[in-house]
A = this chain, B = another copy of it.
């Protein structure tokens, strides 16, 4: 009995929380995965996550596990979905609450606790453990919707970026391509971007203007509710 001290009148499921972390490297949308060191699914890649402690919320648990497994801290996470199929974990009944976050990949790359955490392009993820492939599909669908209401670039791009980079991000998430001129016009019309006086050489051909997000305007728009059509 030493190893089974927590007893209940009715059977209780275990509860875990997982984090689906997206980043953007200028070309591809990427997702952060960790390689499992234990059975089941040993050696498979999976989202960082783990068991929720009895005195922490699922969200706090997700953040704690994220830090433990990848070193990522101070990330704003958002609940995606709870997965509760009875046989999704071979060990015991496990219900998982999945969270999603967008981070600046370049702020994260260096100095990780976790050598076995890696970014994968979403177009080219390995086989995932458990039902994590379903989670990824759900997360990508969610992101596609969210992009219409929320300037996801604010979280995914570096502080300063070119119009081309912003467009590439939108195209990577939505899986479409836009007219360069109309895209810029639409974005500038929203009044959420601040053109900077700086330029950079992102291509060998010509320097490009840099922009940053106007957080004040964005919050105003969010209050009133807005939608970007694409």
Residue A86 lies at the interface, judged by CB distance under 8 Å to chain B:
yes
Are B12 and A95 closer than 8 Å at their CB atoms?
Answer: no
Chain A, range 27-75, C-beta contacts under 8 Å to B:
51-52, 54-59
Are B97 and A84 closer than 8 Å at their CB atoms?
Answer: yes
Are A10 and B6 closer than 8 Å at their CB atoms?
Answer: yes
Are A7 and B5 closer than 8 Å at their CB atoms?
Answer: yes
Copies in the complex: 2
Write the A81-107 contact mask toward B (1 if CB under 8 angstroms, else 0): 110111000000101010000000000
> Contact check: which of B3, B10, B227 meets A229 at CB < 8 Å?
B227
CB-nearest residue of chain B to A84: B58
Are B79 and A59 closer than 8 Å at their CB atoms?
Answer: no
A residues neighboring B (CB under 8 Å):
1, 3-15, 51-52, 54-59, 79, 81-82, 84-86, 93, 95, 97, 148, 227, 229
